[in-house]
Amino acid sequence: MPIQATSKIWHNGKLIPWEQATLHVMSHVVHYGSSVFEGIRCYGQPQGSAIFRLPEHMQRLLDSAKIYRMELPYDLEELCAGVVDLVEANGVAPCYIRPIALRGYGEIGVSPKGSPMEVYIANFAWGKYISGHGGADVCISSWNRMAPNTLPSLAKAGANYMNSQLIHMEAEINGYSEGIGLDVNGLVSEGSGENVFVVRNGVLYTPPLANSALSGITRDSVLTIARHLGLSVTEQALPRELLYIADEVFFSGTAAEVSPIRSIDRIVIGDGKPGEITKKIADEFFGIANGLKPDRFGWLTPVKVNASEHLSA
246 in helix, strand or coil? coil
By the rule CB under 6 A, 257 interacts with ligand PLP: no
Judge whether 156 counts as a catalytic residue.
Answer: yes
79 in helix, strand or coil? helix
Cis peptide before 94 (omega within 30 of 0): yes
Number of chain residues interacting with ligand PLP (CB under 6 A):
14
- Number of helices (H), then strands (E), belonging to the chain: the values are 7, 17
In the complex, what is the shortest distance from the CB of residue 312 to ligand PLP, in angstroms, rounded to a whole number? 21
By the rule CB under 6 A, 144 interacts with ligand PLP: no
Q: Based on the number of CB atoms within 10 Å of its own CB, is 71 exposed (0-12), middle (13-18) or buried (19 or more)?
A: exposed
In the complex, what is the shortest distance from the CB of residue 188 to ligand PLP, in angstroms, rounded to a whole number? 12
Stretch that binds ligand PLP, among 8-16, 69-77, 209-217, 224-232 (CB under 6 A): 209-217
By the rule CB under 6 A, 183 interacts with ligand PLP: no
* Sequence-distant (≥ 6) Cβ neighbours of residue 131 within 8 angstroms: 177
Of residues 211, 218, 259, 263, which one binds ligand PLP by CB under 6 A? 218
By the rule CB under 6 A, 61 interacts with ligand PLP: no
CA dist 168 → 17, 149, 202, 276 (Å): 32, 23, 30, 28
Query: What residue type is 172 in one-letter code?
Result: E
In the complex, what is the shortest distance from the CB of residue 190 to ligand PLP, in angstroms, rounded to a whole number? 5
Between 115 and 218, name the residue whose CB sits nearer to ligand PLP. Answer: 218
By the rule CB under 6 A, 194 interacts with ligand PLP: yes
Query: Residue 302: what are its φ and ψ, rounded to 5°?
Result: -70, 145
Stretch that binds ligand PLP, among 129-137, 170-178, 192-200, 296-304 (CB under 6 A): 192-200
Query: What residue type is 200 in one-letter code?
Result: R
Say how many residues make up the chain.
313
Catalytic residue among 128, 156, 279, 280: 156
Instruction: Tell me which residue of 118, 123, 87 sits closest to 100, measured CA to CA.
Output: 118
Of residues 179, 216, 270, 291, which one binds ligand PLP by CB under 6 A? 216
Query: Residue 44: what are its φ and ψ, rounded to 5°?
Result: -75, 145
Sign of CA dihedral 247, 253, 254, 259: negative
In the complex, what is the shortest distance from the CB of residue 247 to ligand PLP, in angstroms, rounded to a whole number? 22
By the rule CB under 6 A, 211 interacts with ligand PLP: no
By the rule CB under 6 A, 168 interacts with ligand PLP: no
Of residues 44, 193, 260, 291, which one binds ligand PLP by CB under 6 A? 193
By the rule CB under 6 A, 195 interacts with ligand PLP: yes
Site string for ligand PLP, 30-49 (x = CB under 6 A): ---------x----------
By the rule CB under 6 A, 207 interacts with ligand PLP: no
Q: Based on the number of CB atoms within 10 Å of its own CB, is 126 exposed (0-12), middle (13-18) or buried (19 or more)?
A: middle
* Sequence-distant (≥ 6) Cβ neighbours of residue 174 within 8 angstroms: 139
Positions touching ligand PLP (CB under 6 A) are 39, 164, 190, 193-195, 214, 216-219, 252-254
